[in-house]
Chains A and B, each alone.
Chain A
């Protein structure tokens, strides 16, 4: 019941601290919206040459902000060269062939996403493995894809960032205000303190994850072909990892400012390893040690590739493992303040 008391107290504190609560719940939405509009503005008028495709598909493309232009194969090649269209599409016996200009990866990816979404709307027959869309890069190539999974990466990162900061600082304050010492003068066990924190902030991050996921998928209408529940699961795991890591590192900081100092050292570098950049094999191995790598990997699989639980099971296990590891490390580190 001591854990319950801890959880209630943390929630009570947050309820009385409207600013922090707003930071957890609203700041990620604000940033996501901003970045969405900045990225979106550069990809407003994409034209795609339609060599041969059913009307339903063309209409779906149009709904996804693509301007369809009916043309012949040779006209398409010409327009691709002149950059009046970004891609051309033809459908032959149910299979879609795309010629795309990969010179601007933001645009080409937006176009590909839209075309994939349009295909999705055509019914389950299109999902067959042998009808997989064939993409041919006329210019550039797919590994230029700089912002391939930008949106999904962003969700993971923002949740991670804010949860890390807020949980870390509030645990730190517990120490600097002396309430940790007071707590340690009671029969509470160290693991009960850590668990109380994880559950208390965990409750808030459930709400946070829910809001962010729904916002991104339904309001911003980001490319999302997988299951909403899986996105929610990964967002939550991202928050849990950040939460436990934040609490852990706060034991090494002696002021709020020192906690902030962890951000450029611990949080920001993780972004470089989450698929934003194409890394040499050596550097990709470094990424395997970063929680956000697994978050971004799983989110990309669900949202862009439509993966199911089996595809992300490994990421889930790693994130759960990291959370457990950080919690145990925390309990042990608290020995610094009381051995028993």
Chain B
């Protein structure tokens, strides 16, 4: 079965919000250790898709497997790191308290997170702001802190919903280098984005439009298939009205 060989598998997933269908027969598989990009215009269903993978939301029909087990499953939650599209932080608390809280929720011991917290803060370049209250953070700093929080517990699967919004190009590059390192060490990463240059950095890419997955492959393949010079053109091509199916 497919769900044996791939880290994240979706089979014929449909999702309704009331009458409205926001995901239509989504089939998707993310190999172990890959950085997988989910690309598509606003409102196409990216967040809905990743929430189902993260086990927060459930599909109306269809199956979702993560690490070979059906989602949602409480025991899998410890293996998944999730970074939401909007920063979910306790504004009143300093960054350190935010991190410690989620570390303990993930069952980390004090000695473990005492060591780990400076590491992840270093990674997102926030070491100097560890004890600042989050309410005093800028938008980009909050984004980075959210990222740090999602990798705190060494997840095997990392699901990032538009992680680099509001982060400057230099830092974005550093973050991508980190993602590559993690993927090299076997972490499977799913990133949603609508930034093209970011999509190009992914090992594999899926394009989404109005709740459907319209194309899957490496960035290079997608480009070649349509002969487009850049992924940006591919995006416009696949996203265009002429290619609904």
Contact = CB atoms under 8 A, between A and B. Distances in A.
Interface centre among B80, B92, B97, B105 (most CB of A within 10 A): B105
Nearest to A183: B105
A44 interface: no
A5 B88 contact: no
Nearest to B94: A16
Nearest to A4: B104
B93 to A, nearest CB: 6
A186 B77 contact: yes
A187 interface: yes
Contacts of B88: 177-179, 181-182
Contact of A340 (B73, B93, B133, B149): B73
A131 to B, nearest CB: 58
A8 to B, nearest CB: 8
A182 B54 CA distance: 10
B90 interface: yes
Contacts of A186: 77-78, 102, 105-106
A206 interface: no
Nearest to B106: A186
A185 B80 contact: yes
B58 A9 contact: no
A17 B74 CA distance: 33
A184 B84 CA distance: 11
Given A1-B107, A13-B92, A338-B56, A178 B84 contact: yes
Given A177-B88, A179-B90, A340-B72, A185 B82 contact: yes
Contact of B74 (A5, A8, A9, A340): A340
Interface centre among A6, A8, A183, A340 (most CB of B within 10 A): A340
A178 B133 contact: no
Given A13-B93, A16-B133, A5 B104 contact: yes
A4 B105 CA distance: 9
Interface string B203-237: 00000000000000000000000000000000000
B107 A9 contact: no
Contacts of B92: 13, 16-17
Interface residues of A, number: 27
B122 interface: no
Interface string A157-188: 00000000000000000000111011111111
A12 interface: yes
Contacts of B82: 182, 185
B196 to A, nearest CB: 27
A181 B104 contact: no
Interface string B80-105: 10101011111111000100011011
B58 A339 contact: yes
A2 interface: yes
A187 B89 CA distance: 18
A188 B105 contact: yes
B55 interface: yes
B185 interface: no
A70 interface: no
A280 B75 CA distance: 56
A177 B89 contact: yes
Contacts of B149: 182
Contacts of A305: none
Contacts of A120: none
Given A5-B105, A16-B133, A185-B55, A178 B86 contact: yes
A189 interface: yes
B104 A2 contact: yes
A1 B80 CA distance: 20
A340 B57 CA distance: 10
Nearest to A178: B88
A185 B73 CA distance: 10
A340 B75 CA distance: 11
Nearest to A189: B74
Interface centre among A17, A183, A186 (most CB of B within 10 A): A186
Contacts of B97: 9, 12
A184 B56 contact: yes
Contacts of B102: 182, 186
A189 B72 CA distance: 13
Contacts of A184: 56
A59 to B, nearest CB: 55
Nearest to A14: B92
Contact of B107 (A6, A181, A187): A187
A12 B73 CA distance: 30
B78 A338 contact: no
Contacts of B90: 9, 13, 177, 179
A196 to B, nearest CB: 10
Contacts of B91: 177
A177 B77 CA distance: 21
A9 B93 contact: yes
8 contacts: A5-B105, A8-B101, A179-B90, A185-B54, A185-B55, A185-B77, A186-B78, A340-B74
Given A1-B104, A13-B93, A178-B87, 8 more contacts: A1-B107, A8-B101, A181-B88, A182-B88, A186-B77, A187-B74, A187-B77, A340-B55
Which 7 residue pairs are nearest across A and B when measured between Cβ atoms? A5-B104, A178-B88, A182-B88, A185-B82, A187-B77, A16-B92, A179-B88
